[in-house]
Amino acid sequence: MERLSVDVAIIGGGIVGCAAALALRKAGLTVALLEKGLCGAQASGINAGGVRQQGRHVTELPMTRRAAKLWPRLHETLGEDVEFRQVGHLRLARSEQDVQMLEDYAVTAREHGLYLQLNSGTVTREMFPWVSGKIAGSSLAVEDGHANPRLVTPAYSRAARSHGVHVLEFTPVEHAQWTGSNFEIQAPRLVVKSRHLVNAAGAWAGKFLSFFGESAPLTLRTPNLFVTEPVSYFMTKSIAVCGGAVYFRQVERGNVVLGGGPGWGDLKSERSRNRADTTLGQFARAIELVPELSGLHIIRSWSGLEGDLPDKLPIIGASRTTPNLVHAFGLCGHGFQLGPAIGEILCELIRDGRSQTPIDAFCISRFDAVAHQKMAGAG
Amino acid sequence: MISESPQFHRLAERSGEQLVITVDNRDVAVRQGDLIITAVLLHQKAIRRFEFGDGFRAGYCLMAACQDCWVSLGDGRRVRACDTIVEPGMEVRTGIFNANGKTENC
Amino acid sequence: MLAKIVIVGAGPAGIRAAEVLAGAGLQPVVLDEARQPGGQIYRQPPPGAERDAFTLYGSEAGKARNIHAAFGRLGKSVDYRPDTLVWNCSSNALNILHKGRQGIVPYDRLLIATGAFDRVIPFPGWTLPGVFTLGGAQIALKAQGVSIGKRVALIGAGPLLPLVASQYLEAGADVAAVLDVTPFGAKIRALRGMLAVPEYARRGLSLLLKLKKFGVPTAYDVRAIEVTGNWHVDGLKWRDGAGRWHRIACDAVAASFGLKPEMQLADLAGCATYFDEATRQWLPSLQAGGRSSVPDVYLAGDCAAIGGADVAELTGKRAAYSVLRDLGIGFAADELKGIETTLARHTRLRKALDAAYPFPTHLIDAMSDSLTLCRCEGVTVGELRASYVKTSAPDVNRLKAFTRVGMGRCQGRVCGAMAAEILAGQSGASLPDVGRLRGQHPIKPIPMVV
Ligand SMILES: Cc1cc2nc3c(=O)[nH]c(=O)nc-3n(C[C@H](O)[C@H](O)[C@H](O)COP(=O)(O)OP(=O)(O)OC[C@H]3O[C@@H](n4cnc5c(N)ncnc54)[C@H](O)[C@@H]3O)c2cc1C
Ligand code: FES
């Protein structure tokens, strides 16, 4: 039985866990990162790669702004190119009503320092001739873009390791407890003792709530993705649409990655898979926005396992039952862009007891009222 | 320079109606029952450019497995040349030859 | 209600399976991507390009005729749907694409008979125009009556090599050389085992004699090959067992090194697989009677285990009998017994063939960093090795995530096994430990159209 004693133990080697590990280590703490498989092999490694602020819930804007400042420097932080490209994110409106929605959102966003460029349908077409003529207007976030998810989190884990984090892969945490003065975390042939514990176990985080007598309405989300054959680069922006369940982007090599709608997944067997019916249903939605997509061939497809919460906002913050326990999970399908910021926020929470970025909206207790109401209703 | 001499050679002369299709805007005589890959490679040595570097491709497996023979047709379809049969008037675009019948940058 | 039985693949295995099931009155659905029945081996020329069976199939003409006739006789007792790509399988239903239209075919029982594909080992020059697989060279001749070049060099490590060579020679092609990368001695040693099926041994011998009669330069134990040419093939260099290099002029090369099951559909259906040390490749795990690890899914022909056309006919029937048995439908058990006995002989033959054509690991050891391994994405051997050094990727799916190997149009069908070889070689892990690329739909590209 190996024993390890550190300041902070982190469960989960996704982008959240790895970014936190690097930030904490840089802040001078000793860190062990425990990952049941490989770092960045779950949601963080297979997502759509969208690095987008536009369209986020208002409570997420401070955090997404913080992340947006980190992404352009990430290759320096990590010491390698992770294919972050600030191509811009274009949100399309199909009706005047949607145009109004974009305008309202732009006002809110500006209050948080996110400037969105609003364009009429005609101007949108002039700027981006490949967009369908039926578009009523658009909103462009020039700072947004995409990165290669297959590279980002593994690069984080390597950087963390080279800074001295104990990155322990193939190390499934089987049990964790608070002894009154520290945590004891058990994995096969290993016990880690730590002052602090971070629950960044993604879709599997519920298990670690139960160890500490906590609960949250965490469910499984399995976004559906597929990619086309490579064609000449023409679509210079990442695309989303108001009220539409489709999003897509073209990479420099020419492939178009498309997503939206549910895939299939199973937490126990750790398997996930693209759903053919969802994929087929997306064809019309995507072609309606960018007609040139018609006729391109789909060559691959996949899905992934992600934690979901009823209000589509994450849980980030201190546990209510256990001192020195911090949660950061349930990113509801849009945590890739936030990852670098959440890493720093977790570091501040542990080092300073509070974060510079407002995170109150993400506290775990917000579901208590709901739970109580439900119980009352049932009683 | 990729030459315009044929890659494939007919060993068995056979009956079958003669048709004309175009390959990169040039008329090419083919026989009914020819696959696009046959039609093209009876007249030149490659059927497409490689997207990620120098060089050309001429298909590989001829059984719809390797996916190395995708070409565009005039009607906008993209098809595998090794399992698509020629039709009269078909316009095959390999992207190898420009309008003057020359290949660029090689 | 009758159970809905779907067969994927109308090659020798699928056709014989359909025959048994149709005989029991079950009207199976037969789906095949090709426009005509016969599979790869008994592939028919398209309408307008018909020629007589002997020119097409040579020594195999009789069998080809039988198979085509057998399927023809089934008529309306099977629901045959040619030109239908099956691109996904999940929850007892198949996604199909027919003439650009999407469809769904549900099933109660699925019999997968999707055949095999050439086993590829990259060598310098293998992506040049003019290099094809041996299977491809054969199809050019059978389905189109064309030779892949004016002067053709043939390279291989399996019984397909002398067969294609003799078919090309009979058809009047100029064969520059027939190069076997496995030693001649291995064949001599395996001869006894091959006698398990005497007609097979006889046929093999007559092929070799034919090559001799035509006076084609033939070599065994070829240690290295290298195709030359800037934009297309202009020659071939090869090194013999004694270390001497030889050079031949040719404008086409056909090369492949045995066969590999097309098991993408079985994979998506959830069938378990195992690493077969003898042939150094992954195969679906087979239970008695051609059953897979998934109830309701049966495997036959080369997609279950490489056995050749004769075995495919037998395993096709056998899987169909298993379907009948599992549905509680009676049949003449004698015939099944006969099949099992013949198959046992073929198993001995297959063992001998595997020994006669051992996997040419020397071609893998010879791969240099500059060699392109993934022809779709243009990933080199050196990139794979460097990625391992940087990332310690323990398995081939992780290596794919980092390097794009196997991410292109073919989905790793061509290069996946070779990426595993490179990773195992670099990391020191065993081949079964580095695993294989996970299957994803679509099995082949599907168009995004409304
Ligand atoms: C298909 C898909 C597309 C997406 N597209 C986008 C996008 O375009 N833009 C965007 O911003 N976001 C996107 N997301 C969301 C984003 O990927 C996630 O929000 C983010 O990666 C979550 O990070 P994580 O670290 O919480 O989770 P994960 O990456 O899942 O990490 C959790 C880790 O915990 C480990 N773990 C679990 N249990 C244990 C245990 N017992 N012991 C040890 N380790 C354990 C897991 O193995 C895993 O590695 C997408 C998600 C998916 C699935
Ligand atoms: S040549 Fe391989 S798919 Fe056409």
In SS3 terms, C242-261 reads as: CCCEEEECCCEEEEECCEEE
Contact B55 C118 (CB under 8 A): no
Total domains in chain C come to 3
Residue C87 near chain B (CB below 8 Å): no
In this prediction, residue B4 carries a pLDDT of 76
Residue listed under structure tokens 């190996």? A2
Q: Does the pLDDT at position A373 exceed 80?
A: no
- Contact at 8 Å (CB) between C48 and B17? yes
Chain C residues whose beta carbon lies within 8 Å of the beta carbon of residue A45: 401
Is position C447 within any domain? no
Residue A230 near chain B (CB below 8 Å): yes
End-to-end CA distance of chain B: 5
Phi and psi angles of residue A9, each rounded to the nearest 5 degrees, phi first: -110, 140
Residue listed under structure tokens 């990139």? C383
CATH architecture of B18-93: Roll (3.10)
Q: Is C78 helix (H, G, I), strand (E, B) or coil?
A: coil
- Contact at 8 Å (CB) between C31 and C96? yes
Residue B51 near chain A (CB below 8 Å): yes
Element (H, E) at C138: helix C134-144
DSSP secondary structure letters along C277-316: TTTTEEEE--BGGGB-SSTTEEE-GGGTS---HHHHHHHH
CATH number at residue C147: 3.50.50.60
Amino acid at A152: V
* Ligand 2 neighbours by CB, cut-off 6 Å: B 59-62, 64-69, 80, 82
Nearest CA in chain C to B47: C129
Is position C446 within any domain? no
Contacts of A227 (CB under 8 A, 6+ apart): A255, A256, A257, A258, A298, A299, A300, A301
CATH number at residue C404: 1.10.10.1100
Q: Which of C257, C286, C307 is the last residue in one of the domains? A: C257
- CA–centroid distance, A330 to ligand 1, in Å, is 9
pTM for this entry: 0.94
Cα-atom radius of gyration of chain B, to the nearest Å? 13
Instruction: Kindly list the partner chains of chain C, i.e. chains with 3 or more CB atom pairs below 8 Å.
Output: A, B
CB-CB neighbours of A373 under 10 Å = 10
**Which B residues, 20 through 49, put their C-beta within 8 Å of a C-beta on chain A?**
none
**Rounded Cα distance, C382 and C385, in Å:** 5
Phi and psi angles of residue C376, each rounded to the nearest 5 degrees, phi first: -70, -50
In this prediction, residue B95 carries a pLDDT of 83
Our mutation pick for probing the ligand 2 site, out of B48, B62, B85, counting the most ligand atoms within 8 A of Cβ, is B62
Alpha helix (H) residue ranges in chain A: 15-26, 43-46, 61-70, 74-78, 96-111, 121-127, 149-162, 206-211, 276-289, 339-352, 366-378
**Rounded Cα distance, C137 and C148, in Å:** 6
C47-to-A29, A86, B35, C32, C346 alpha-carbon distances in Å: 75, 53, 11, 17, 35
Mean pLDDT, rounded, of chain A: 96
C3-to-A245, C104, C163, C322 alpha-carbon distances in Å: 38, 17, 41, 14
Is position C448 within any domain? no
- CA–centroid distance, A29 to ligand 2, in Å, is 56
Contact C232 B59 (CB under 8 A): no
Give me the mean pLDDT over the A199-227 stretch: 97
In this prediction, residue A245 carries a pLDDT of 86
Peptide bond into C295 cis (omega under 30): no
- CA–centroid distance, B81 to ligand 2, in Å, is 7
Contact C133 B70 (CB under 8 A): no
Chain C residues whose beta carbon lies within 8 Å of the beta carbon of residue B56: 129, 231-232
Q: Does the pLDDT at position A375 exceed 60?
A: no
C130: domain range?
A: 120-257
In this prediction, residue B2 carries a pLDDT of 66
Least distant ligand from the CA of A206: 1
Contact C130 B58 (CB under 8 A): yes
CA B85-B88-B92 angle, 5° bins: 65
Put the strands of the sheet holding A223-228 in their side by side order.
Answer: A117-120, A137-141, A89-93, A238-241, A247-250, A256-262, A223-228, A297-303, C446-447
Our mutation pick for probing the ligand 2 site, out of B68, B78, B85, B92, counting the most ligand atoms within 8 A of Cβ, is B68
- Per residue in B54-74, pLDDT tens? 899 999 999 999 999 999 999
**Rounded Cα distance, C139 and C261, in Å:** 18
Q: Is A295 helix (H, G, I), strand (E, B) or coil?
A: coil
Residues C248 and C272 in one domain: no
Better-predicted residue by pLDDT, A202 or A379: A202
- CA–centroid distance, A305 to ligand 1, in Å, is 7
**Rounded Cα distance, A372 and C384, in Å:** 55
Chain A residues whose beta carbon lies within 8 Å of the beta carbon of residue B84: none
Q: Is C104 helix (H, G, I), strand (E, B) or coil?
A: strand
Residues C267 and C243 in one domain: no
Residue A297 near chain C (CB below 8 Å): yes
CA A283-A287-A290 angle, 5° bins: 145
Chain C residues whose beta carbon lies within 8 Å of the beta carbon of residue A275: 90
**Rounded Cα distance, C93 and C105, in Å:** 5
Residues C127 and C221 in one domain: yes
Better-predicted residue by pLDDT, A207 or C1: A207
Better-predicted residue by pLDDT, B17 or C361: C361
In this prediction, residue C43 carries a pLDDT of 77
- CA–centroid distance, C82 to ligand 2, in Å, is 19
**Rounded Cα distance, A276 and A273, in Å:** 9
Least distant ligand from the CA of B47: 2
The maximal CA–CA distance of chain B, rounded, in angstroms, is 40
Residue A149 CA: nearest ligand 1 atom is 17
Contact A276 C440 (CB under 8 A): no
Q: Is A26 helix (H, G, I), strand (E, B) or coil?
A: helix
CA C106-C110-C115 angle, 5° bins: 125
* Ligand 1 neighbours by CB, cut-off 6 Å: A 11-17, 34-37, 41-44, 46-50, 172-173, 200-204, 223, 225, 259, 303-304, 306, 329, 331, 333-337
pLDDT profile of chain C (450 residues), mean per 10: 91 96 96 90 73 68 87 94 97 96 97 97 98 96 94 96 94 96 94 90 90 94 97 97 97 97 96 95 96 98 93 97 94 90 94 95 97 98 98 97 97 97 98 96 96
Chain A residues whose beta carbon lies within 8 Å of the beta carbon of residue C412: none
How many Å lie between the alpha carbon of B48 and the closest alpha carbon of chain C? 10
Q: Which of C169, C168, C166, C160 is nearest to C135 (CA)?
A: C160
Contact B12 C135 (CB under 8 A): no
Residue A187 CA: nearest ligand 1 atom is 42
Least distant ligand from the CA of A44: 1
Residues C27 and C48 in one domain: yes
The whole-angstrom distance between residue C28's C-alpha and the CA centroid of its chain comes to 25
Buried b / exposed e over C311-348, threshold 16 CB at 10 Å, is bbbbbbbbbbbbbbeeeeeeeeeeebeebeeebeebee
**Rounded Cα distance, B79 and C259, in Å:** 26
C145-to-B39, C56, C148 alpha-carbon distances in Å: 12, 8, 10
Residue A259 CA: nearest ligand 1 atom is 3
Q: Which of A289, A222, A308 is nearest to A249 (CA)?
A: A289
The residue whose CA has the least distance to atom 13 of ligand 1 is A334
- Contact at 8 Å (CB) between A104 and A93? no
**Rounded Cα distance, B73 and C326, in Å:** 48
Contact A297 B78 (CB under 8 A): yes
Contact A299 C409 (CB under 8 A): yes
Domains of chain A: 2-46+150-219+309-378 (3.50.50.60), 88-145+220-305 (3.30.9.10)
Q: Which of C257, C275, C302 is the last residue in one of the domains? A: C257
Residues C155 and C273 in one domain: no
Q: Which of C301, C307, C407 is nearest to C18 (CA)?
A: C301
Contact A151 C88 (CB under 8 A): no
Q: Is B30 helix (H, G, I), strand (E, B) or coil?
A: strand
**Rounded Cα distance, C271 and C283, in Å:** 10
The whole-angstrom distance between residue A52's C-alpha and the CA centroid of its chain comes to 10
Chain C residues whose beta carbon lies within 8 Å of the beta carbon of residue B78: 447
* Helices first, then strands: H and E counts in chain A: 11, 22
A301: left (phi over 0), alpha (psi -120 to 50) or beta: beta
- Contact at 8 Å (CB) between C115 and C413? no
In this prediction, residue C239 carries a pLDDT of 98
Chain B residues whose beta carbon lies within 8 Å of the beta carbon of residue C140: 8, 38, 62
DSSP secondary structure letters along C161-205: HHHHHHHHHHTT-EEEEEEESS-HHHHHHHHHHHTTSHHHHHHHH
- Per residue in B23-58, pLDDT tens? 999 999 999 999 999 999 999 999 999 999 989 999
The residue whose CA has the least distance to atom 52 of ligand 1 is A47
Q: Does the pLDDT at position A74 exceed 80?
A: yes
- CA–centroid distance, A328 to ligand 1, in Å, is 11
- Per residue in A40-51, pLDDT tens? 999 999 999 999
- Contact at 8 Å (CB) between C313 and C285? no
Residue B75 near chain A (CB below 8 Å): no
Contact B51 A295 (CB under 8 A): no
Phi and psi angles of residue C198, each rounded to the nearest 5 degrees, phi first: -55, -40
In this prediction, residue A377 carries a pLDDT of 46
- CA–centroid distance, B58 to ligand 2, in Å, is 9
Percentage of residues in chain A with pLDDT exceeding 70? 97
Contact B52 A253 (CB under 8 A): yes
Residue C205 near chain B (CB below 8 Å): no
Beta strands C252-256 and C245-248: pairing type? unpaired
CA A326-A331-A332 angle, 5° bins: 145
Our mutation pick for probing the ligand 2 site, out of B67, B71, B78, B92, counting the most ligand atoms within 8 A of Cβ, is B67
- CA–centroid distance, A45 to ligand 2, in Å, is 31
Is position C354 within any domain? no
In this prediction, residue A379 carries a pLDDT of 36
**Rounded Cα distance, B5 and A371, in Å:** 77
Residue A254 near chain B (CB below 8 Å): yes
Tokens of A100: 């109004």
Q: Does the pLDDT at position A324 exceed 60?
A: yes
Using CB atoms, pick whichever of A273, A294, A299 lies closest to residue C445: A299
Residues C225 and C292 in one domain: no
Element (H, E) at C95: strand C93-98
B82-to-A253, B86, C162, C240, C256 alpha-carbon distances in Å: 25, 11, 24, 34, 18
CB-CB neighbours of A133 under 10 Å = 10
